[in-house]
């Protein structure tokens, strides 16, 4: 156990150890921090922490998590009245375990934030069974991004936009490290960031905007090109709406339609990795012949789907947002949840992304026109996208300090395209160098986990730790698929893919990472 405040009291007698420890944690409520107030500082006994209620947004653990005794600190940075007369500030939660491993993890959010997920540090893939960071001994912090409600009203306030875009990361990191230093009487030896979705974007921002603060980041299904991805969502909705019955988007394509598409992808591309198992592991090698679907789907449905999968374009045919890879995961509930929705729930593209495109990324905040001019929209979101999108490719300071980036991306992600992150990855490794980042494309996986045969159970935090601390870049990451019990397969560092070479199909040893 590391030394803490009031060390002499801790050493006086063993009978006073517990009360002194409790006093150490409680004393943080009175610590003098710049522009930050502590609302709660209290010892938490070992026990079970609840699941992340926003797991669908963050990729955090949808299961309860066991945690040892720790100090819980909650507070708010820059409490203020915004330009719209509403209360703002960056709320945070920090958990510091008794058995500290000397490391700090910043846990990313999701959606447009506005909530505080439990600071647990679970690997942000909903199917991952990897040990959360708090259980490993990390001090873990989470935040709300600078606004307290899960709506888009915050976009009326300039600073709230800036905080969600990137500024809150630096403020929370500095405050958390000050609390850690006071509590443990020592600074973290290593500082990492890990998140998925908007949390993945935040992880990239941590490396791009705060390269001196972090030693490594885990980036999951990142919304790094968020302003353009929002326009991609507008495009998707506009393509499917003419097929919707009574304005209900979910009726545009039935589950049978998506099952048909998935089966054709399997038929054409499954064997490319050497094993016919319903998994298209050879990412990037599938030259899918879409016309094979002609006659299997009605022409109007197929044409709408082809327009969506090709990506948003303006009137001159210029790409506004990239297209999408064809993966069997197109039939999974997670794909439908974003693109089409269900009878019970409106598509996320309609309920979240459509509004965000106009109210967050356009100035002043406004509604997207019913008949969009995509070229004009792209120009209108450029200003906010300039500070909101985590698309910088020049990360030399981060890399020179030994900073490492582990990226995972679902091949069937329906909101942030795998083709977009592979494009960024190629540009970033060219501009910064090949030794700071590794990308792993997950076959079958939708957004931050999910998929019928998705290899979504993996541990990128351990991979990052080993790489950052050993200097040896990972060539693969072991993974399993919850829908295929006892089956393992490597996720290979892009552009390599897992090729079956013979033997037990369930064994990692039966695959090798092959390059195209």
447 is annotated as an active-site residue: yes
Lowest mean pLDDT among 60-64, 139-143, 195-199, 439-443: 60-64
Is 256 among the residues known to form the active site?
no
- DSSP letter at 163 equals I
Res 21: pLDDT: 53
Instruction: Output the average pLDDT for the chain.
Output: 94
Which of 70, 147, 225, 447 is labelled catalytic? 447
Residue 6 has pLDDT above 60, yes or no: no
- Lowest-pLDDT range of 3-17, 73-87, 169-183, 411-425: 3-17
- 85 contacts: CB under 8 Å, gap ≥ 6: none
Active-site option among 61, 125, 197, 233 = 197
Distance CA 191, CA 106 (A): 8
Among this protein's residues, is 413 annotated catalytic?
yes
DSSP string, 70-97: EEEEEEEEEEEE-TTS-EEEEEEEEEEE
Q: Where are the domains of the chain?
A: 7-223+408-448, 228-387
The SS3 assignment for 461 reads helix
CATH (one of 3.30.460, 1.10.10, 3.40.50, 2.30.30) for 7-223+408-448: 3.40.50
Identify the active-site residue in 236, 413, 420, 457: 413
And the tokens for 487? 């089956």
Is residue 309 within 8 A of residue 326, CB to CB? The reply is yes
Work out the percent of the chain whose per-residue pLDDT is above 70: 96
Q: Facing residues of 74 across strands? A: 40, 93
Find the DSSP H helices in 317-459: 333-339, 348, 354-359, 374-380, 382-388, 396-400, 418-432
Beta strands at 103-107 and 139-143: parallel, antiparallel or unpaired: parallel
Q: Residues 158-167: pLDDT tens digits? A: 999 999 999 9
């Amino acid at each position: 156990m590391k030394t803490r405040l009031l060390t002499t009291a801790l050493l006086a007698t063993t009978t006073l150890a517990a009360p002194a420890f409790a006093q150490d944690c409680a004393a943080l409520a009175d610590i003098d921090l710049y522009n930050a107030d502590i609302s709660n500082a209290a010892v938490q006994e070992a026990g079970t922490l609840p699941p992340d209620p926003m797991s669908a947004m963050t990729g955090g653990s949808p299961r309860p998590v066991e945690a040892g005794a720790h100090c819980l600190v909650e507070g708010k940075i820059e409490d203020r009245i915004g330009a719209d007369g509403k209360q703002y500030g960056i709320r945070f939660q920090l958990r510091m375990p008794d058995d500290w491993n000397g490391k700090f993890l910043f846990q990313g959010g999701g959606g447009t934030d506005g909530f505080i997920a439990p600071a647990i540090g679970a690997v942000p893939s909903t199917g991952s069974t990897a040990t959360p960071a708090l259980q490993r001994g990390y001090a873990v912090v989470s935040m709300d991004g600078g606004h307290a409600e899960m709506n888009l009203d915050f976009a009326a306030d300039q600073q709230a936009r800036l905080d969600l875009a990137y500024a809150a990361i630096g403020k929370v990191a500095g405050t958390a490290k000050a609390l850690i230093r006071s509590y443990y009487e020592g600074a973290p030896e290593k500082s990492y960031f890990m998140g998925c979705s908007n949390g993945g974007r935040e992880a990239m921002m941590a490396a791009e905007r705060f390269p001196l603060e972090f030693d490594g980041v885990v980036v999951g299904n990142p919304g790094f090109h968020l302003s353009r991805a929002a326009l991609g969502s507008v495009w998707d909705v506009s393509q499917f709406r003419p097929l919707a019955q009574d304005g209900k988007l979910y009726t545009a394509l039935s589950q049978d339609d998506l099952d048909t598409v998935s089966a054709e992808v399997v038929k054409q591309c499954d064997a490319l990795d050497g094993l016919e198992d319903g998994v298209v592991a050879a990412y990037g090698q599938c030259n899918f012949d879409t016309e094979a679907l002609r006659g299997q789907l009605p022409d109007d449905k197929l044409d709408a789907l082809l327009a969506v999968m090709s990506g948003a374009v303006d009137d001159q045919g210029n790409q506004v947002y990239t297209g999408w890879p064809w993966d069997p995961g197109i039939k999974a509930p997670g794909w439908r949840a974003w693109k089409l929705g269900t009878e019970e729930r409106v598509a996320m593209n309609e309920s979240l992304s459509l509004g965000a495109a106009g109210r967050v990324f356009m100035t002043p905040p406004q509604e997207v026109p019913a008949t969009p001019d995509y070229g004009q929209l792209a120009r209108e979101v450029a200003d906010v996208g300039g500070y909101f999108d985590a698309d910088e490719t020049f990360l030399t300071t981060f890399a020179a300090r030994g900073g490492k980036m582990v990226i995972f991306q679902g091949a069937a992600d329906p909101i942030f395209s795998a083709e977009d992150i592979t494009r960024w990855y190629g540009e970033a490794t060219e501009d910064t160098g090949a030794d700071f980042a590794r990308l792993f494309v997950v076959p079958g996986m939708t957004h931050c986990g999910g998929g019928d045969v998705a290899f979504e159970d993996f541990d990128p935090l351990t991979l990052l730790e080993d790489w950052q601390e050993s200097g040896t870049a990972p060539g693969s990451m072991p993974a399993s698929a919850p829908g295929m019990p006892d089956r393992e397969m490597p996720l290979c560092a892009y552009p390599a893919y897992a090729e079956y070479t013979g033997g037990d199909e369930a064994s990692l040893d039966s695959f090798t990472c092959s390059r195209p």
